[in-house]
């Protein structure tokens, strides 16, 4: 029954996380605070870092990671490979269903004023959800044991600023992750 809950929860995320992988973050935050106990808010930050640094879509990577590491307290085990596959299938199933249903009608939906209006209103809401999730994720990273972790904040600000430099903007995310790893080692974070 636990794997059915895992599938259902990620099915809901896949159904409502409009806007791609980052849009799954608010839903994952909600799961982190749920009674399931599959993962917590601190583990969510690790999930995002790993999902971003591995090949593939971030939402699928996060679902796989979350399902694999989902702790099932009553069973005393982690989700493992079956948990990873279950969460991933739950996440992608709504997209497959929707794509199959609308593939033949794509042009009609694309030009429909109601559909255009709906997505015009959904986009800013997704942006707000992602930004809210970002603030929820950075707080435990920047503020630990009642104090700000200044080196972590400095690394974040410097990398964020450097990403706006025209020549650096095109660098692969792996470069930034490697730079962060090196800074973390050197600063003993």
Distance CA 103, CA 106 (A): 5
Q: How confident is the model at residue 89, as a pLDDT?
A: 96
User: In which residue are the tokens 């050197």 written?
Assistant: 186
Q: Tell me if 187 sits within 8 A of 149, measured CB to CB.
A: no
Q: Per-10-residue mean pLDDT for the chain, 189 residues long? A: 86 86 85 82 82 83 85 64 93 90 72 84 89 84 86 92 89 87 89
Q: How confident is the model at residue 74, as a pLDDT?
A: 53
Task: Enumerate residues 6+ apart whose C-beta is below 8 A from 50.
Answer: 61, 65
Distance CA 63, CA 60 (A): 5
Q: Tell me if 160 sits within 8 A of 166, measured CB to CB.
A: no
Question: Can you read off the two tokens belonging to residue 114?
Answer: 């109601």
Distance CA 140, CA 144 (A): 6
Q: How confident is the model at residue 170, as a pLDDT?
A: 85
Q: How confident is the model at residue 174, as a pLDDT?
A: 84
Q: Tell me if 71 sits within 8 A of 21, measured CB to CB.
A: no
Q: How confident is the model at residue 77, as a pLDDT?
A: 62
- Tell the burial category of 51 from Cβ atoms under 10 Å away from its Cβ (0-12, 13-18, 19+): buried
Task: Enumerate residues 6+ apart whose C-beta is below 8 A from 31.
Answer: 9, 13, 38, 39, 66
């Amino acid at each position: 029954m636990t794997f059915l809950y895992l599938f259902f929860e990620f099915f809901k995320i896949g159904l409502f996380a409009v806007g791609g992988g980052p849009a799954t973050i608010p839903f994952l935050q909600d799961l982190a605070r749920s009674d399931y106990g599959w993962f917590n808010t601190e583990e969510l930050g690790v999930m995002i870092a790993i999902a971003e640094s591995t090949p593939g879509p971030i939402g699928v990577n996060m679902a796989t990671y979350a399902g694999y590491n989902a702790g099932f307290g009553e069973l005393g085990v982690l989700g493992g490979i079956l948990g990873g596959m279950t969460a991933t299938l739950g996440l992608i199933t709504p997209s497959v269903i929707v794509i199959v249903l609308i593939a033949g009608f794509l042009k009609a939906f694309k030009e429909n004023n109601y559909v255009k209006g709906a997505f015009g209103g959904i986009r800013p809401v997704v942006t707000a959800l992602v930004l809210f999730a970002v603030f929820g994720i950075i707080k435990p990273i920047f503020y630990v044991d009642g104090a700000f972790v200044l080196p972590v904040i400095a690394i974040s600000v410097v990398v964020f600023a450097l990403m706006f430099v025209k020549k650096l903007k095109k660098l692969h995310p792996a470069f930034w992750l490697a730079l962060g790893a090196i800074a973390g080692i050197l600063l003993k974070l």
